[in-house]
Structure 1
């Protein structure tokens, strides 16, 4: 994983507005945001956007990825198909911290129809400020990667 402060964001059509709010929020915190869209409200397919963001993280171009769709579930499933990706969907700050601390997650998924804007930003902050604890958790992450 790169140590850069470069982060990729993507979503389906349902989550464009929240994705843009998240992008502005993390850019204000000093992150270099790579927003890969979409930009128009026409119906689109979340697997395409989840995979595209995951590829940016897996390649090392971006340290983390944040993806959004209606529930966060479908786009997360697509991202996790990319080798090297550990993405979790979170609707609370505790889970967002834990997927970083215990699972070394490199992507976060949020459901725009599940959480509101304020909570979404708190979830993002919890994810981005948590650090992987290593130790026994590293052993388990290695098992996931196998």
Structure 2
């Protein structure tokens, strides 16, 4: 059976999404998102500036992972800030569909990277806590670089 197409609708185009915020509500939502994203960006940039000298490949590898985690969050919050402003201007869903796909890719890719980095941080801290004298032998620079590269490729 074929789906019924209403008058004025094209079966080959995706329907426009439902607008949850219209008028003043949209302005307040964009303002709220902008404040949250700006504060979060400021905190992450401060963290990146503070931890860049602490990064390393031995027991301080967690700072390297936290540095990359913060960079992933900066990408996500920057994308959400830009996307919220485009929503304020009522940009057409159908006409700029490639833009929305790009925003979605940039906004959701860091979510998976953050989860992977949190597992790596947990594993690294557990290894150095449970086996403080042997962890440096097993988690040498090349092993940590492979983990880092794997997490970076997921981004």
- With the length of structure 1 as denominator, give the TM-score of the two structures: 0.26
**Bigger relative contact order (CA 8 A; separation at least 6):** 2
Task: Looking at secondary structure, tell me which structure has more strand per residue.
Answer: 1
